[in-house]
Amino acid sequence: MMLTTSMLLGLLAVPAAPDEGPPRPPPPRPADVERAKGLYQAGAAAYAKGQYLVAIDAFDAALLVVRRPTVVFSLAQAERLQYFVDGTPARLERAVDLYREYLRSQPQGARRDHAGQHLATLVPLLERVRLDADTQAGPVPPRLIVSSTTPGARAQVGAQEPQPVPASFELSPGPVTVVVSAPGHDDATRALALKPGTSVAVNVELTPHPGRLVVARGPLSTVTVDGAVVDDGVQRLAPGRHRVRVTGHSRATHDETVTVNSDELVEVNAAQPVNAQTWLGLITAGLGGAVALGAGVPLGVVAAAELEAASLERTATEVRALTVDESAHHGDLEVRRDTAARAAVVMVAVGAAAMVAGALLVALDFPVGGGGEAEGEVE
């Protein structure tokens, strides 16, 4: 990998190592290595949370047990960032020394380029700090140090040109306004009062622009985002992952996790097919209705048999006695009528039961499934 000019400046700022040095210390014991590892992990956890003073103490303690280049570089990082918090020149000087130590011990190390880049920035800054301390005869002008973990953040003080943070400004005593901005984030303004000879450090974390979410859904469906029910329309969400659930009676639940970025519009098309239970209920109710309607066939048989039997009965009453065959036929008609009537009753009962069962299947087809935990927030 080719080095940039800033890296080369950092490397050139490293004093040449002496040809001969003190004898190497004996290899550390396994117990010491484990102890140093625990201290380093504690320092790394504090560093990740921005607790640089705690990280410095932990890294220092680890170096007293085992001096590893990785720990040296991490300590340099913590000292550098703490300088931009409290403005203590000793921390800036120590960060420079530690970066140089890392480069001497690891000229081809994995963090070589980063160390060179930091030295290219910190060495001129350290020289200015020392020069200011040596040459100023009157009151020392105040210094404002602005830091932020927001990627791409830049700080602007008054009418000065914006500077990438962390940035240090030498200003006149009195009120001052600093504006910190970054792409995709809301600007933040801080008003401060600077006194002569003081260094004021301010850390500004910017709020990212929200993203937007639109959910296309069917009628009578309910939409929840991260477990909270939301209204129709465009939702403004904090950047990150969000769980979108769309539920509706008799329809499948749409459950999707989406990633929303700053200033981005995300569209979710919630396809909700009809549930199998509802389909079964509709089919069952339809078949029940068909069976109930089919009872009209045996009822027709009942009516026909009843009419023919009544005709024979009138003949026997008003005209003449029935023959043997007519009497037997009359008996058959009564049996046919009674059988068809029972069949119609059964068909109506079965059909009605099927329709009730189908209606219950549809009515009881409620959405199922947990809402899950919120992964972001709705604005």
Asked if 155 and 205 touch (Cβ cutoff 8 Å), the reply is: no
Q: Please say if the pLDDT value at position 82 is more than 70.
A: yes
Taking the C-alpha atoms of residue 78 and residue 63, their distance in angstroms, rounded to an integer, is 14
DSSP 141: P
Residue 376 covered by a domain: no
Residues 42-68 have pLDDT tens digits of: 889 889 988 898 889 889 888 888 888
Please report the pLDDT score of residue 23 as a whole number: 60
Which range marks the domain in which residue 72 is found?
A: 5-15+28-130
Residue 375 covered by a domain: no
Q: Tell whether 172 and 289 lie within a shared domain.
A: no
Q: Please say if the pLDDT value at position 12 is more than 70.
A: no
Please report the pLDDT score of residue 325 as a whole number: 84
- In this prediction, residue 234 has a pLDDT band, given cuts at 50, 70 and 90, of confident
Give the mean model confidence (pLDDT) for residues 201-215.
Answer: 86
Residue 11 covered by a domain: yes
Residue 20 covered by a domain: no
Please report the pLDDT score of residue 103 as a whole number: 92
Q: Please say if the pLDDT value at position 125 is more than 80.
A: yes
Q: Tell whether 9 and 124 lie within a shared domain.
A: yes
DSSP 207: P
Q: Please say if the pLDDT value at position 15 is more than 90.
A: no
Residues 136-194 have pLDDT tens digits of: 555 667 888 888 888 899 999 988 889 898 787 888 888 989 999 999 899 999 998 88
Q: How many angstroms separate the Cα of 310 from the Cα of each of 317, 331, 341?
A: 10, 12, 16
Q: Tell whether 51 and 90 lie within a shared domain.
A: yes
At a CB cut-off of 8 Å and minimum separation 6, what does 36 contact?
A: 28, 62, 65, 66, 68, 71
Please report the pLDDT score of residue 77 as a whole number: 93
| CATH, residue 57 | 1.25.40.10
At position 58, the amino acid (one-letter code) is A
* Total count of domains within the chain: 4
Please report the pLDDT score of residue 377 as a whole number: 42
Q: Please say if the pLDDT value at position 20 is more than 60.
A: no
Residue 93 covered by a domain: yes
Tell me what percent of the chain is helix, strand and coil, each rounded to the nearest 5. Answer: 50, 20, 30
Q: How many angstroms separate the Cα of 159 from the Cα of each of 164, 177, 190, 267?
A: 15, 10, 15, 42
Q: Tell whether 67 and 175 lie within a shared domain.
A: no
DSSP 166: S
Q: Please say if the pLDDT value at position 312 is more than 60.
A: yes
Boundary-marking domain end, from 130, 153, 172: 130
Q: Tell whether 257 and 281 lie within a shared domain.
A: no
- In this prediction, residue 134 has a pLDDT band, given cuts at 50, 70 and 90, of low
Q: Tell whether 37 and 119 lie within a shared domain.
A: yes
Q: Please say if the pLDDT value at position 10 is more than 50.
A: no
Residue 369 covered by a domain: no
Please report the pLDDT score of residue 370 as a whole number: 46
Please report the pLDDT score of residue 262 as a whole number: 81
* Longest CA pairwise span in the chain (Å): 149
Residue 116 covered by a domain: yes
- In this prediction, residue 126 has a pLDDT band, given cuts at 50, 70 and 90, of confident
- In this prediction, residue 369 has a pLDDT band, given cuts at 50, 70 and 90, of low
Look at 138 and 10; give whichever has higher pLDDT.
138
Q: Tell whether 74 and 90 lie within a shared domain.
A: yes
Please report the pLDDT score of residue 71 as a whole number: 92
Residue whose tokens read 């960032």: 81
- In this prediction, residue 24 has a pLDDT band, given cuts at 50, 70 and 90, of low
Q: Please say if the pLDDT value at position 198 is more than 90.
A: no
Please report the pLDDT score of residue 14 as a whole number: 47
Please report the pLDDT score of residue 374 as a whole number: 43
Boundary-marking domain end, from 203, 223, 241: 203
Residue 139 covered by a domain: no
